[in-house]
Structure 1
Amino acid sequence: MQKSFKDSAREELLGVLPKKREEIVAFLSALAKSCGSIEIAKKRYNLCFWLADYDEGLKVVELLKTLYPADFELSLDKTKTGAEACSVQVPSGFSKQAIEDFGLMKINVDEYLAFVEGIPQDVVTTIATKVAYFKGLFLGCGSVYVPSTSDQSEKRDGYHFELQLDDDLFADDVMELLSDLRINTRMSDRGEHKLVYVKDKDEIVKVLATLDLADCVLKLRSIIDERETANSLNRVIICETANLDKTFTAASKHLLAIGELRNKDMFDSLPAQLKETADARADHPEASLSELAEILGVSKSCLNHRLRKIVEMANLN
């Protein structure tokens, strides 16, 4: 079974993760805010990340090791919803530093004062760190869906990108951050969560490009072009079908009138021009009015007048 577009995007993201320290901090800060948890036990704080699979967990550990010289525990566990996930546990000896570095809590000496609401602004001071933060959000709480193609496992009709966030302030900050990256978003509610989303296909192309997902950009452009070509062909077919319907409707009315005149023994007594027109229509039932006028060598308005006369005679007599 082929990967969904969402899974392909997440997989490609793992190959374009940040390398500079400040960008790694921004990425992990977003990841912690969107899919992390802080466990408190006996005044000790332990930071844990919850990822979709083991490969994502390994990549997160690689980034953490660039900041903290420690061994990190990876394990496959069940989330609160019952779904399987890979957890990455930051050792308790480094959790305090990580919580502080990622701007998750306000800390005074050894005292944890409060959780930081929204995006910690000191970790997103440049465009590069904002892009890194966006990458962390996408891996932690993002989804992207595109219309189904023959090689996709999911059945989707529209274009949709979303980030599922926990509160209004965080969602507002995320919208502002994406605006700084020239991405236009909207917000809506889903249960207890806030969704920051994009539905415009060209805007989603911009989203994927901002995330450095070159392969996904090319794939989405291909899907868009394929669908637009198909839609253009459908419009032509619909237009041609509508024109054919009009032709058949008009021809049917003419043929019924001609048949009625024959049934009433009036056909042979028609004026020569009307009889010629009736014979031409009977011989070319599929012809449009323009085509029939050309066959008879008369103008379209003249032909219309003759055909109306035939219909009127059939109805009046």
Structure 2
Amino acid sequence: MSFSMEVKSELAKLQPKRVCCQRAEASAIIHMDGSLHILGNERFALDVSTENAAVARLLYKYLTDTFPLKVESIVRRSVLHKVNNYLIHIPDQPATGQVLNELGILDDHMVMAPGILQRVVKKDCCAVAYLRGAFLGGGFVSNPKSDYHFELTTDNAEFAEDLRDLVRRVGLNAKISTRKKNFAVYNYAVYIKDSEEILQYLALIGAYNALLQWEDERIVKEIRAQVNRLVNCDTANLNKVVNAAAEQIKDIEIVDSKLGLENLPNSLQEFAGVRVEYPYVSLKELGELFNPPLSKSAVYHRARRMSQLAKSLLKVSR
């Protein structure tokens, strides 16, 4: 089961006590996953399709507990994807139009509402319930082990804009991405990329188990990234020390072959002896090996004098 499916299964177990919030949540699921059939003369039928059994059961309960409706639940098996698909079907019946109006699927003129009717999300508690239903119907959140990504996907541009505004209403920075589905059909993804804001969304809609799992994985990722940065930094510094030491030993060998170390000042003779004996230590560590110990800058000064001498001897020999 994907991480998104786990989150939806957790959320489907949460049922708001207020009827207004139940209707807001059901409205969002229908808007995300539903297909409205207009039969004429204010007669309607509705199909809501989902691959999550828990979401299907939740919507069925909302519709049958709250409204005097005949609702059919159908399980279909996808031969291509080898997964079950759950269809909630509301057939044409006297109460269908009124119920769809109360859910905000039809406006007060009994015309399909393309976006979110404000009366459905007027209360803050209903706005939160609607955002929970939107995720249940068409939400995706990436596994925290991979990149951070959260989105609500719909094929209705006006509805996507209303969803974005609703997410922003609760203080989160949502944006819209447009994707071409086929020739003339587009999908609109209301997305959040910031990991802290994704956590806030999950907390807001009540996905606390998913939130804790997300946070644990995020902490592990950040620790691993920090360790990798430190290892890479240490490796780079070690390579720098080794390369510098190799250059210094090369300079010592040139001076020894061209002039002889015994002809050097005592300070350079001492530097050459210690460096050759300890070829892989840093300048700071090298300075601690002198008697008396030298500072890093003093050792660097001797290494630079040795380098300049080696270069001048090479020029003369040419």
Q: TM-score range by the shorter chain?
A: 0.7 to 0.9
Residue aligned with 2:104, SS:
coil
Corresponding residue number in structure 1 for 2:25: 27
Of 287, 299, 305, the residue aligned with 1:303 is 299
Q: Displacement of 1:276 after TM fit?
A: 1.1
Task: Give the conservation status (yes or no) of the 8 Å contact 1:70–1:91.
Answer: no
2:306 corresponds to 1:315: no
Q: Displacement of 1:73 after TM fit?
A: 1.6
Task: Give the conservation status (yes or no) of the 8 Å contact 1:54–1:76.
Answer: no
Q: Partners of 2:136 and 2:123 in 1: how far apart?
A: 20
Corresponding residue number in structure 1 for 2:59: 60
Q: Displacement of 1:265 after TM fit?
A: 6.0
Residue aligned with 1:132, SS:
helix
2:5 corresponds to 1:4: no
How much is the aligned-residue C-alpha RMSD, in angstroms?
A: 2.1
2:97 corresponds to 1:96: yes
Corresponding residue number in structure 1 for 2:262: 268
Question: Greater shift after overlay, 197-206 or 4-13?
Answer: 4-13
Residue aligned with 1:92, SS:
coil
Name the amino acid aligned to 2:125. A
Q: Partners of 1:39 and 1:78 in 2: how far apart?
A: 23
Name the amino acid aligned to 2:140. S
Q: Displacement of 1:138 after TM fit?
A: 0.6
Q: Partners of 2:40 and 2:301 in 1: how far apart?
A: 98
Corresponding residue number in structure 2 for 1:152: none
Question: Equivalences for 1:1-317 in 2 at 5 Å?
Answer: 3-41=1-39, 44-77=43-76, 85-93=85-93, 94-106=95-107, 108=109, 112=110, 114-148=111-145, 156=146, 158-191=147-180, 192-264=186-258, 266-296=260-290, 297-317=293-313
Q: TM-score, normalised by structure 1?
A: 0.88
Name the amino acid aligned to 1:48. D
Q: Structure 1 regions of 5+ residues with no counterpart?
A: 149-155
Q: Displacement of 1:271 after TM fit?
A: 2.4
Residue aligned with 1:104, SS:
coil
User: How many corresponding residue pairs?
Assistant: 302
Question: Greater shift after overlay, 279-288 or 91-100?
Answer: 91-100
Deviations 1:210-240 (A, max 9, x none): 1101101111111121112222222222222
Task: Give the conservation status (yes or no) of the 8 Å contact 2:144–2:214.
Answer: no
Q: Displacement of 1:124 after TM fit?
A: 1.2
Corresponding residue number in structure 2 for 1:153: none
Shift in CA distance, 42/306, structure 1 to aligned 2, threshold 3 Å: closer
Q: Displacement of 1:88 after TM fit?
A: 0.4
Name the amino acid aligned to 1:31. I
Task: Give the conservation status (yes or no) of the 8 Å contact 2:107–2:117.
Answer: no
Task: Give the conservation status (yes or no) of the 8 Å contact 2:44–2:91.
Answer: no
Percentage identity across aligned positions? Answer: 29
Residue aligned with 1:210, SS:
helix
Deviations 1:107-148 (A, max 9, x none): 55xxx4x22121011111101111111111111111001332
Name the amino acid aligned to 1:307. A
Deviations 1:226-261 (A, max 9, x none): 112222222222222222122112101011112223
Q: Displacement of 1:301 after TM fit?
A: 2.7
Q: Partners of 1:41 and 1:180 in 2: how far apart?
A: 36
Question: Greater shift after overlay, 192-201 or 47-56?
Answer: 47-56
Q: TM-score, normalised by structure 2?
A: 0.88
Q: Displacement of 1:62 after TM fit?
A: 1.2
Q: Structure 2 regions of 5+ residues with no counterpart?
A: 181-185, 314-318
Corresponding residue number in structure 1 for 2:183: none
Corresponding residue number in structure 1 for 2:316: none
Q: Partners of 1:301 and 1:106 in 2: how far apart?
A: 80
Q: Partners of 2:133 and 2:297 in 1: how far apart?
A: 69
Residue aligned with 1:295, SS:
coil
Q: Partners of 1:123 and 1:271 in 2: how far apart?
A: 90
Name the amino acid aligned to 2:114. E
